[in-house]
Amino acid sequence: MKGQGQFFMEFTKYKYLEDSDQVKGLPQPPLVLSKDNPDNEVVNLPDPKEVKVNKKDITDVINDRVSVRAYADKEMSLDELTYLLWVTQGIKTVSNRPATLRTVPSAGCRHPFETYLLINRVTGLKPGLYKYLPMDNQLEIISLEDGIDKKLTAACYKQVMVERCGVTFIWTAVRYRNYWRYGERGYRYVHLDAGHVCQNLYLASDVVDCGVCGIAAFYDDEINSILGLDGVERYTVYVATCGKRRDA
């Protein structure tokens, strides 16, 4: 067998899988993570139900979807950011399973992602690195270090749109959320779920006059280190820039 990719696809087939930890009766992991640091300050977000956005036909939005790599030198509003966070990882309710029912599909309702944000131009927020806390509808301030935008840009293959957009979304996986239910095959589903999340961002951005570009080109070890992730139990899966369109 040639290549690690082929090895991965072969040995995550069902015929090779052992009983999952769920089948073994082991307790499931937390539905969401708490703050990265209990001492970090938080920012309360507007109620997503109160946020007003443009109304557009979904067929037109899909037809007009493009990747946008250059953005206007304008700030996004906190309402707009709140809306985009809700459509990508917002929690509608918590079921009796328990499981989080969100605005995007996820294999087995596992929802393995935590969302980090590089804030560059958002009204009311200082530039820096934040983490979305969906249960509380808050942002945890991770770092306001000068130059963190440059570090993340370098980690994303030096793609300057990372530091020039309004906000860069960084979706990181909690390995055991999927592994608990699916074992090794759960790794496949993480990447499928990432596509669902980013597509929602692409489509929803249009109704707030923003554009998006998904990024898969990043140096895994570097970006994980910046976020404080070990790269094994928690690791970066996908990145996307978002900002005001130049023609808006």
pLDDT digits (tens, 9 = 90+) for 33-55: 999 999 999 999 999 999 999 99
User: SS3 for 223?
Assistant: helix
- Mean pLDDT, the chain, rounded, equals 97
Backbone phi and psi for residue 242, each to the nearest 5 degrees, phi listed first: -150, 135
Predicted confidence (pLDDT) at residue 139 exceeds the cutoff of 90: yes
CATH of 61-244, one of 3.40.50.1000, 3.40.50.300, 3.40.109.10, 1.10.3720.10: 3.40.109.10
Residue 203 CB contacts under 8 Å (≥ 6 apart), including other chains: 58, 61, 62, 65
Predicted confidence (pLDDT) at residue 248 exceeds the cutoff of 70: no
pLDDT tier for residue 2 given thresholds of 50, 70 and 90? confident
- pLDDT tens per residue across span 61-80: 999 999 999 999 999 999 99
Model's pTM, two decimal places? 0.97
pLDDT for res 1:
63
Strand partners, 93: 101
What residues does each domain of the chain span? 61-244
- pLDDT tens per residue across span 164-217: 999 999 999 999 999 999 999 999 999 999 999 999 999 999 999 999 999 999
